[in-house]
Chain A
């Protein structure tokens, strides 16, 4: 009889949310963006995604086999890292780059720090930052003009952000093209509609907290509207800034990573606002045209600090810090 009595600490809440189920939801949510990237950039996009995913899964399996840990490739987390890294690559890169980037993301940024749940930065973004530092020319020049189903090879084509910053000359695509994804850019960042479909699915399934993406995008909107035009306030092209670059992809799929974002509601809002502020700082005054990935990486690093600041108050208790002050 006693064996049937399960003793465990609270909360006694049964949930059917498991790690693989949550991760599978993210994979499903990424599908519209994956399909959009294949539509606009053709077989090259498909090849990059497949290379990146298989490299992520294989390196996870090899590493875990080598250090005799449980093999966790079935929880889809490596698949997500692979897809997200591919989504962050320019469509013209040689295929060995996603392979190396995924292996770096999984082995160095994730597994060496203890595997899923222990990485201090988003692995896919760490992989991207590594590729950016290692082969900057490929990561900033291998853009392709979009075309339906592989009619892609129009040569290098500048991204809207580079044009906006005055680094390249070119015609800015119209707003409708920006929404649909018919513009130069990284594989998965171009189609705002596809990302929104996935993002809304994730919010509906309660996989992600809308505070991070809304705080992120809202901050970018306000700040680019206020400061976007040099020499004048409140005249920036905020709508265009919000739609270009990797903002939507980063806000919905990368800043919301459980492991590297704060756990409280206020903390998540702070995370979103911080990401947005750093992004605008880099876009308007920094050395790169785009700052989404670095802003998320930087906010990943301060996530433990945010969590410390926004500890919720227990009923009947005073904040530790305030108590000390009172003494």
Chain B
């Protein structure tokens, strides 16, 4: 059966959502999600690296010997990471300062190595491209969602450049949301909510099937 390219793109949002379903790439998810802007740029970097790595792993899958596939993956992943790092350093130095070590660490982000190993190494180029875009976009949305909640509760407002919403916080911000415990609480609750919704949907489809 030929896999549908469209399905490979959309599955990254819910079914194989990297953060909440596959539970991979958690380190940057917890570390950089203290503001929406950070989450957005981190997500964008991951999309670029993921698509680049997936496409090249898939292109080279027939000529890559099984024994040395991991070193090959690492080289194929490290290349776009260096590109992202240098571009960010040149054009977004302030963002590079904030994301710091987490940009070079994309090399060892398990989302990328997992998609290379589990998907791109076995699938055609077009599907791998769709998979990279979908998983990356899902990841970016997760980061924006988590960082949005944390920034809003932790600072009382969401700041994007000079735009602030709401202009003045209408409640006393809870500093805990910006700290690691706040990140874990936020992540755990979102994961619980998604699991409840998916379980409910599954029960419904089962009931219809019977």
Contact = CB atoms under 8 A, between A and B. Distances in A.
Interface in A96-143: 108, 112, 130, 133-136
Contacts of B192: 112
16 contacts: A108-B185, A112-B192, A130-B176, A133-B175, A133-B176, A133-B179, A133-B181, A133-B182, A134-B174, A134-B175, A134-B176, A134-B177, A135-B172, A135-B174, A135-B175, A136-B175
Interface of A: 108, 112, 130, 133-136
Interface in B148-181: 172, 174-177, 179, 181
Given A108-B185, A134-B176, 4 more contacts: A112-B192, A134-B174, A134-B177, A135-B174
A284 B185 CA distance: 31
A17 B181 CA distance: 38
A133 B180 CA distance: 11
A104 B63 CA distance: 55
Contacts, number: 16
B112 to A, nearest CB: 32
Contacts of B172: 135
A57 B174 CA distance: 23
A133 B181 CA distance: 9
Nearest to B153: A134
A164 to B, nearest CB: 27
A108 B176 CA distance: 15
Nearest to B154: A134
B169 to A, nearest CB: 13
Contacts of B185: 108
Nearest to A97: B172
A108 B189 CA distance: 9
From A134, A135, A136, residue with most partner B Cβ within 10 Å: A134
Nearest to B192: A112
Contacts of A108: 185
Nearest to A107: B189
Nearest to A136: B175
A242 B158 CA distance: 46
Nearest to A94: B172
Contacts of B176: 130, 133-134
Contacts of A135: 172, 174-175
Contacts of A133: 175-176, 179, 181-182
What are the 6 tightest A-B residue pairs by CB atom distance, in nearest-first order? Answer: A134-B174, A133-B176, A134-B176, A134-B175, A133-B181, A135-B172
A136 B172 CA distance: 12
Interface string B186-199: 00000010000000
A134 B174 CA distance: 4
A22 B174 CA distance: 35
Nearest to B179: A133
Nearest to A130: B176
Contacts of A134: 174-177
Contacts of B181: 133
A112 B179 CA distance: 21
A289 B177 CA distance: 24
Nearest to A132: B176
Contacts of B174: 134-135
From B172, B177, B181, B185, residue with most partner A Cβ within 10 Å: B172
B149 to A, nearest CB: 14
Contacts of A130: 176
A135 B182 CA distance: 13
B119 to A, nearest CB: 33
A83 B192 CA distance: 29
A134 B175 CA distance: 5
